[in-house]
Amino acid sequence: MTYDPDNIFAKILRGELPSHKVYEDEQTYVMMDIMPRADGHMLVIPKTPARNVLDAAPEQLSAVMTTVQKMSHAGMKAFDANGITIQQFNEAAGGQIVFHLHVHVLPRHDGDTLRPPGTMADQDMLAAHAEKIRAALS
């Protein structure tokens, strides 16, 4: 399989589509998931092309996982969470829908359940959640 430079995350990285940015460094970009399964649901992506874990360079994986750890701490602090769920899918049979490497980071609370997939969130709520996480990074 080849990388499609017109996938939604590539378009976000090029500024062609909007996102609720939470964090960015030289190698990674973090945004709110527009269909969050939990409050504070973030996506961590590399800024360079990679279809998924199966074709990513070790440097991309290292940068992404370093950011995943940073955002996990921020998500727990921002949402007073008891834990974090990290999800990552590869190829259609593995559940991948957008074919640009991405890792889901979801703050979790004891006894909570994830919302069903596919429901768009209120944009004001996403903006507020992004701000809350950015504040926790300080």
Question: What is the chain's length?
Answer: 138
**What mean pLDDT comes out for the span 94-116?**
97
Task: Pick the catalytic residue from 41, 102, 104, 129.
Answer: 102
Whether the per-residue pLDDT at 138 is higher than 90: the answer is: no
Alpha-carbon distances of 108 from 84, 124, 135, rounded to whole Å = 5, 21, 18
Mean pLDDT estimate for the chain: 97
Alpha-carbon distances of 23 from 2, 58, 96, 132, 133, rounded to whole Å = 27, 21, 23, 12, 9
**What mean pLDDT comes out for the span 106-116?**
96
Q: What is the pLDDT of residues 32-45, one digit of tens each?
A: 999 999 999 999 99
Q: What are the chain's domains?
A: 8-137 (3.30.428.10)
Whether the per-residue pLDDT at 133 is higher than 90: the answer is: yes
Catalytic status, residue 102: yes
**Is pTM beyond 0.75 here?**
yes
